Amino acid sequence: MSTEEILTQPANPAGVNLKKVAIVCCAVGIWFLPLVWINPVAYAVLTIAGLAFGMMLFMVASGMTIIFGLMDILNMAHGALFAFGAYVGGYWMLNLLEQLGWVEWGTEAQSIGSFLIAIAAGGLAGALLGFLVERIIIRNVYGDHLKQIMITMGVLYLMTEVIKIVWGANPEVVLVPMAFQGSIDVYDVIINKFRIVAIIVGLLIFGGIQLVLLKTKLGLIVRAGVENREAIQVTGYNINRVFTGVFTAGSALAGIGGTMWCVFQQQVFPEIGLENIIFAMIVVIIGGLGSVTGSFLGALIVGLSFNYVAFLLPKLALGVNILIMAIILLIRPWGLLGKE
């Protein structure tokens, strides 16, 4: 084919990218593949559980991926913020409100209100701790990946011990607000109410992040900062203030994720941070470092596959995530939507 021919040929005759269509078809095919072994009703239940699980993973991973994309910091302390949010919001705040009789026995409005207050408390706790961590510790190690990972791992370790000092080392039961207890039955498919709440909150957060990133000036600065940090400074913005703001916002997301998570699991324990940081990391790697949409996809993949495999072969549940990560890294070493 000569150059002229290529130029005259329409690049995309039907107006669709065939490669993209093929990839989407494959993905949907794999999504429905477990139907071969699982009956449809169980499959529907597992899918909703997986979506809820994925949304909660996304809450943790989104903050981590934005912080990495903008600030070039791999923040292991994200797990500490997650655990702190879980303890403050899900455990301490809900127990406090329970003394007022709001959570498990109050009216519908009271229980929903208590849940919202708990989420706010968790987010606030995460934001506050994140602000301090960024200002006191991470500020000193900008630009040195090795030190950043080590020191934030140290923060995670220290916070796990501090949580044990304050709240004790044993797992504690977390109350579920009355309005979200129990489940609803749709054509024999039994759906836990809280899972629907988790999916809605996750979608809201995803939408909110996209809105902020795409429609506001702050989002413009952040997106530009991901592309080129020096250029932002040259145009006169105080990048350090943006860093602190983004770090605090990411920390608040981790705190909210922690609160949601412990209500979902109905228990909370000190090592919850370490356990989730590993899930979040797998999600971030699969999605591509720095990409919010990528980590959304990654979270759904991990959440769904974890649930299907945990149902079919319980012992392989965590292994399958690592396997998926390995396969994706083999094909695209920079993640699904990451940059080369």
Partner 1 sequence: MNSQLTPVQLDRISEKNNRYKKWSFWVQILLLAVLLAAPMMSSFRFMDAAAKIMIFTVVVASYDLILGYTGLLSFAHAMFFGIGAYSIALLSYHSASTHWYHLLLAVVIALAISVLLAMVLAFFSLRTKAIFFAMLSLALADFFHILGITWSDLTLGEDGITFSLPGILNIEWQGVEILGVHFGPRRITYYLILVISISLFLFLLRFVRSPLGRVLKSIRDNEERSIALGFRSFHYQIYSIVFGSAISSLGGILYGLWLRFVDPASVLGVFGMVDYLLMVIIGGLGTLYGSIIGVAFFISTQSWLPDILQTFADLFPDVAIMNRMADRWMAFLGLLFIVAILLFPKGVVGTVRDYLDKRKQ
Please give the C-alpha separations between residue 56 and each of 7, 173, 260, 266, 269, in angstroms, as whole numbers. 47, 19, 7, 14, 17
Using a 10 angstrom Cβ sphere, with 0-12 exposed, 13-18 middle and 19 or more buried, the burial of residue 38 is middle
Q: How far is the CB of 191 from partner 1 (least distance, A)?
A: 28
**Measured distance CA(269)–CA(242) in Å, rounded:** 33
> Are the beta carbons of 93 and 117 closer than 8 angstroms?
yes
Instruction: Decide whether 22 or 327 has the Cβ nearer to partner 1.
Output: 327
**Measured distance CA(313)–CA(122) in Å, rounded:** 34
Instruction: Decide whether 272 or 325 has the Cβ nearer to partner 1.
Output: 325
Q: How far is the CB of 288 from partner 1 (least distance, A)?
A: 11
**Measured distance CA(322)–CA(302) in Å, rounded:** 9
| Contact positions vs partner 1 (CB under 8 A) | 74, 137, 140-141, 145-147, 149-151, 153-155, 157-158, 160-162, 164-165, 168, 274-275, 278, 281-282, 284-285, 289, 315, 318-319, 321-322, 325-326, 329-330, 333-334
**Measured distance CA(269)–CA(223) in Å, rounded:** 36
Q: How far is the CB of 287 from partner 1 (least distance, A)?
A: 13
Start-end of H helices in the chain: 3-8, 18-32, 40-71, 78-85, 94-99, 108-136, 145-167, 193-215, 217-227, 229-234, 239-265, 272-287, 292-312, 317-331
**Measured distance CA(155)–CA(249) in Å, rounded:** 18
Q: How far is the CB of 21 from partner 1 (least distance, A)?
A: 28
> Are the beta carbons of 176 and 90 closer than 8 angstroms?
no
Instruction: Decide whether 74 or 117 has the Cβ nearer to partner 1.
Output: 74
Q: How far is the CB of 281 from partner 1 (least distance, A)?
A: 5
- Structure token pair of residue 334: 């920079």
Instruction: Decide whether 224 or 320 has the Cβ nearer to partner 1.
Output: 320
Instruction: Decide whether 59 or 151 has the Cβ nearer to partner 1.
Output: 151
Q: How far is the CB of 168 from partner 1 (least distance, A)?
A: 8
**Measured distance CA(128)–CA(130) in Å, rounded:** 5
Instruction: Decide whether 164 or 193 has the Cβ nearer to partner 1.
Output: 164
Q: How far is the CB of 136 from partner 1 (least distance, A)?
A: 9
Please give the C-alpha separations between residue 328 and each of 122, 249, 284, 296, in angstroms, as whole numbers. 33, 29, 12, 15
Instruction: Decide whether 44 or 278 has the Cβ nearer to partner 1.
Output: 278
**Measured distance CA(232)–CA(228) in Å, rounded:** 7
Instruction: Decide whether 7 or 330 has the Cβ nearer to partner 1.
Output: 330
Q: How far is the CB of 306 from partner 1 (least distance, A)?
A: 13
